[in-house]
Amino acid sequence: MSLQDKLDAFKADFKAGKAPYNAPPEIHPIMERATAELIAGGQAARAVKAGDRAPQFTLHDQDGNEVSSSDLLARGPLVVTFYRGVWCPYCNIELQALNEALPQIQAYGGNVVAISPQTPVNSRKSVRTNQLGFPVLSDVEGGTGAAFGLRFKLPDYLVDLYKQLKNDLPAFNNDPSWTLPMPARYVIGRDGIVLYSEINPDYTQRPDPAEMFSVLEKAAQRG
């Protein structure tokens, strides 16, 4: 089953109100409105994309260790996924798929990191819950997400809904701004140039990890 098949199956259950989320039907049009507005705003087209130089970053992982993109790129190509947080089931399904693909990515000499605005405590939960073999980095106040052109502010009506659902982003992220990154995945070459990019304002849509393999293979051949 492809990653998107898994996401679609989850979405069908979520919209049907099934456990464990038991989502009430009135929330779905609100979430879909916010996604449609984000798509219409065109921010995804303005984000960092293939052919651009990737912004450098130094962030802390779930255990408080400093991780820099320059150090990782010195070892090989780097897969970066921007992750909304452990509260987002779609994101967790994607991380699990990337973890399944990790041996193949490493066979091409690549590394993987997930970047999220959440606190290290929640990143530890992400790693533990999803049994990840790669780090989840804390992007404090969303600076790296903003540098990639991915950070956006939630509309007020969606903030109100999240509050009703007890989805407290300021607590998750230790940041009062109610901002998130659009889900995005990059392959960055050792020279810092983006070789592959996939940005989708619709968080229910994610590319299969296998789409990166040919890019990683070429990057490995170039050295």
User: Do residues 113 and 82 touch, judged by C-beta distance below 8 A?
Assistant: no
pLDDT digits (tens, 9 = 90+) for 80-106: 999 999 999 999 999 999 999 999 999
Q: Of 222, 120, 118, whose CA–CA distance to 175 is shortest?
A: 118
What pLDDT score was predicted for residue 167?
Answer: 94
Mean pLDDT of 15-39: 96
CATH number at residue 167: 3.40.30.10
User: Do residues 87 and 124 touch, judged by C-beta distance below 8 A?
Assistant: no
Residues designated catalytic: 91
Residue-number span of the structural domain to which 14 is assigned? 3-221
What pLDDT score was predicted for residue 221?
Answer: 83
Residue 125 tokens, joined: 């939960």
Total domain count for the chain?
Answer: 1
Write the CA distances from 170 to 50, 82, 138, 148, 200, integer angstroms. 32, 18, 14, 21, 23
User: Do residues 77 and 185 touch, judged by C-beta distance below 8 A?
Assistant: no
What pLDDT score was predicted for residue 130?
Answer: 97
Please say if the pLDDT value at position 32 is more than 80: yes
Q: Which pTM was predicted?
A: 0.96
Separation CA 147–CA 58 (nearest Å): 12
pLDDT digits (tens, 9 = 90+) for 155-166: 999 999 999 999
State residue 63 phi and psi, 5-degree precision.
-105, 10
